[in-house]
């Protein structure tokens, strides 16, 4: 267990460094760098690898985080940040309702492709698509049965691929509002004793960039 914890901490540290390096770009080109806050509301489940849902039992999945963005060119940017996320699943076992709640600290890294005025949108408006990996460190994992909680035997980290598409609108002079539809697919088995269950999450996000 200690070796697994050390390994997951190393993975998480690498992801955190990626986010910091992205943040550091502000010193070289402030006009191309933006940062902000975002909130997500959606649903999460756990199912077989590479299957979008697989008829899995869903649960409400909120998240909140910090967002950083570095604009390399008119239609290309790199996005990162740090998110607090809740994932898991609700299901029935032995005629009892079970709710597995997992709390993660997640560092995503996405390449964002966008189109603005050249595609016919008004000044400051753009449509975007972003894709990239994420790494998550597990903060807590509990199973709740009839209001009684117990610890879950889970991996200490998660990793996967995130997708996002949406619109960006100019607000309050130099600020921008991003409205997005997100999907995250985990590649790491969540539980040590239950195979073939991976995190999946679909959400709507609202982000404000400064």
Burial class (CB in 10 A: 0-12, 13-18, 19+), 79: buried
Task: Extract the tokens encoding 165.
Answer: 């598409």
Asked whether residue 28 carries a pLDDT value surpassing 60, the answer given is no
Burial zone of 201 (CB within 10 Å; 0-12 exposed, 13-18 middle, 19+ buried) = buried
DSSP string, 6-47: HHHHHHHHHHHHHHHHHHHGGGT-GGGEEEEEEEEEEEEEEE
What distances in angstroms separate CA 64 from CA 13, 84, 146, 191, one per listed residue?
Answer: 20, 5, 28, 24
**Average pLDDT score, the chain:** 86
The whole-number pLDDT of residue 154 equals 96
Tell me if 38 sits within 8 A of 178, measured CB to CB.
yes
CB 64 within 8 A of CB 103: no
Q: How do strand 148-151 and strand 96-115 relate by DSSP bridges?
A: unpaired
For range 167-174, the mean pLDDT: 88
Give the pair of three-digit tokens for residue 51: 């299957």
**DSSP letter, residue 196:** S
Average pLDDT of the residues in 125-140: 96
178-199 tens-digit pLDDT: 999 999 999 999 999 888 899 9
User: How do residues 46-102 score in pLDDT, each as one tens digit?
Assistant: 988 887 766 677 899 999 999 999 999 989 999 999 999 999 999 888 888 999 999
């Amino acid at each position: 267990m200690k070796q697994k914890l050390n390994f997951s901490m190393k993975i998480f540290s690498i992801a955190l460094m990626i986010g910091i390096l992205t943040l550091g770009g502000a010193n070289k080109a402030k006009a191309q760098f933006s940062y902000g806050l975002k909130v997500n509301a959606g649903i999460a489940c756990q199912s077989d690898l590479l299957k979008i849902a697989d008829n899995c039992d869903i649960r409400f999945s909120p998240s909140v985080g910090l967002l950083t963005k570095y604009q390399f060119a008119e239609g290309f940017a790199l996005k990162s940040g740090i998110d607090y996320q809740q994932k898991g699943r609700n299901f029935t076992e032995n005629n009892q309702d079970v709710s597995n709640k997992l709390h993660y600290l997640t560092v995503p890294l996405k390449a964002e492709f966008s189109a603005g005025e050249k595609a016919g949108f008004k000044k400051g408006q753009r449509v975007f698509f972003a894709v990239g990996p994420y790494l998550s460190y597990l903060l807590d994992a509990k199973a709740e049965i009839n209001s009684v909680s117990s610890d879950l035997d889970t991996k200490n980290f998660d990793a996967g691929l995130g997708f996002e598409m949406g619109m960006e609108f100019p607000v309050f002079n130099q600020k921008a509002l991003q409205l997005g539809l997100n999907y995250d697919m985990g590649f790491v088995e969540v539980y040590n004793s239950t195979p073939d269950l991976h995190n999946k999450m679909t959400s709507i996000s609202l982000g404000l960039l400064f």
